[in-house]
Amino acid sequence: MKNQLRIIGGEWKRRQLPFASIEGLRPTPDRVRETLFNWLMWEIQNAHVLDICAGSGALAFEALSRGAASVVMIEPNTIQASFLQQNRQLLKAENSQLKIATAQQVLPTLQQSFDVVFLDPPYSLDLWQELAELADPLIKDQAYIYVEADRELQRLQLPANWQLLKQTRAGTVRAGLYQKQSK
């Protein structure tokens, strides 16, 4: 069984992309995604993007659709990774990479730095702090970090140099846009 997500804006606007039906896999709601990409409107162009917990690929493909220079997606579930791979081919997204492993395995091996980072792990695993600490060395100063959670953002214990710029909520989803300050 598969589900569909819709690209909201940019080159692939209104394109439908399939993703697997896996427990805990929930694409960022359209309304939250629209808000996020309005926030990032000027920053996403030519940005190097890291999607730490790619899941459905909603955030990664939306970023590419809106002009990101490159995207690295990390997805440990091989079934969902095959959907991401098919969607990359369908969209001819040569400027994207897919790493099929856990974020804990991939992050220490990455050699590049990023302008925009999406941190939206499965809520039940409570990985925000661990993944934020692993990703922080890869994030450029003044880069933007989008964090999505099912709890108050202040409770996530994110790095002290991540400054919360904006936040929103939709139902149980809480989302924030942070900017990394130099230490």
Q: Rounded CA gap, 121 and 127, in Å? A: 6
Q: Rounded CA gap, 53 and 43, in Å? A: 21
Tell me whether residue 64 is in a domain.
yes
Whether the pLDDT of residue 24 is over 90: the answer is: no
Whether the pLDDT of residue 1 is over 60: the answer is: no
Whether the pLDDT of residue 35 is over 70: the answer is: yes
Selection from 108, 111, 116, 125 nearest residue 37 by Cα: 116
The answer to whether 90 and 112 have CB atoms below 8 angstroms apart is no
Q: Label the pairing between strands 173-180 and 114-119.
A: unpaired
Q: Rounded CA gap, 138 and 81, in Å? A: 23
Selection from 12, 5, 147 nearest residue 66 by Cα: 12
- pLDDT tens digits, residue range 55-111? 999 999 999 999 999 999 999 999 999 999 999 999 999 999 999 999 999 999 999
The pTM of the whole model exceeds 0.85: yes
For residue 175, name the pLDDT band (cuts at 50, 70, 90): very high
Selection from 71, 115, 120, 117 nearest residue 97 by Cα: 71
For residue 25, name the pLDDT band (cuts at 50, 70, 90): confident
Tell me whether residue 17 is in a domain.
no
Angle at alpha carbon of residue 103, lines to 59 and 78, rounded to 5°: 75
What does the pLDDT read at residue 183? Answer: 73
> What is the number of domains present in the chain?
1
What does the pLDDT read at residue 126? Answer: 95
Give the neighbor-by-neighbor strand order of the sheet with 139-149.
96-99, 70-74, 48-51, 114-119, 139-149, 173-180, 162-170
CATH of the domain at 125: 3.40.50.150
Whether the pLDDT of residue 120 is over 80: the answer is: yes
Tell me whether residue 103 is in a domain.
yes
- pLDDT tens digits, residue range 142-159? 999 999 999 999 999 999
Tell me whether residue 5 is in a domain.
no
Beta bridge partners of 51: 73, 118
Tell me whether residue 111 is in a domain.
yes
Tell me whether residue 12 is in a domain.
no
- pLDDT tens digits, residue range 40-50? 999 999 999 99
What does the pLDDT read at residue 2? Answer: 63
What does the pLDDT read at residue 27? Answer: 87
Tell me whether residue 101 is in a domain.
yes
The boundaries of the domain holding residue 121 are 26-180
